[in-house]
Amino acid sequence: MVSDLALVAYVLSRSATNRLRSRFWNDDRGEGVISTAIAVLIVAFLGAAMYVIFTQILTSSGSKASQQVNDIGGAP
């Protein structure tokens, strides 16, 4: 009877200790928010880089096309 009571007390104390330890020392509640913020920043930087590259390509292509049209239809 005493050993059963000791076992119950041991199990209850260990579960309470583990519950407190997980509540205060292993808190991972902000991990998803931080990971999402990092992913959003990476996608934003990629989008900005793609916009700059696309704009440069279109500007370069437009000026080359304009040059070719002027060369073909220009005065002799």
Report DSSP letters for 30-67, one per residue: THHHHHHHHHHHHHHHHHHHHHHHHHHHHHHHHHHHHH
Q: What is the pLDDT of residues 44-60, one digit of tens each?
A: 999 999 999 999 998 88
State the amino acid at position 2 in one-letter form. Answer: V
Report in angstroms the alpha-carbon separations of 24 from 7, 28, 29, 35, 42: 26, 10, 11, 21, 31
pTM, two decimal places:
0.50
Question: Is the pLDDT assigned to residue 76 strictly greater than 60?
Answer: no
Q: pLDDT per residue over 3-43, tens digit each?
A: 777 777 888 888 888 777 776 666 666 678 888 899 999 99
Return the pLDDT at 75. 55
